[in-house]
Amino acid sequence: MSRVGESFLDGRRVVGMYMGEYPVSGIVRLSRVKYGGGMSHHVTLNSPIKVYGAIRESIILDASEIKGVL
């Protein structure tokens, strides 16, 4: 069994910490294998967040930034 974030999570609801600083939750729209074998997840957020003055409605989370799958 894979640890959280080490598998394809398309369509699943996740919670995590974007850039280690912003708590986020949303639905994974795309999971991909990164160059070198890691995973990244394109997430549409439940609520937009403001990051360095820019509003984000979707983000890319590294597998290590995902804290749970709901």
- The domain segmentation of the chain, as residue ranges, is 1-39
Q: Please spell the DSSP secondary structure of 3-47, one letter per residue.
A: PTTSS--TT-EEEEEETTTEEEEEEEEEEEEPTTS-EEEEEEEEE
pLDDT at residue 7, as a whole number: 77
**pTM for this entry:** 0.86
pLDDT at residue 6, as a whole number: 57
Residue 24 CB coordination number (10 Å): 22
User: What is the rounded distance in angstroms from the CA atom of residue 26 to the CA atom of residue 24?
Assistant: 7
pLDDT at residue 3, as a whole number: 45
What tens-digit pLDDT sequence spans the chain (70 residues)? 344 545 789 999 999 999 999 999 999 999 999 988 889 999 999 999 999 999 999 999 999 999 999 9
pLDDT at residue 32, as a whole number: 93
Nearest to 16 by CA among 53, 38, 52, 42: 42
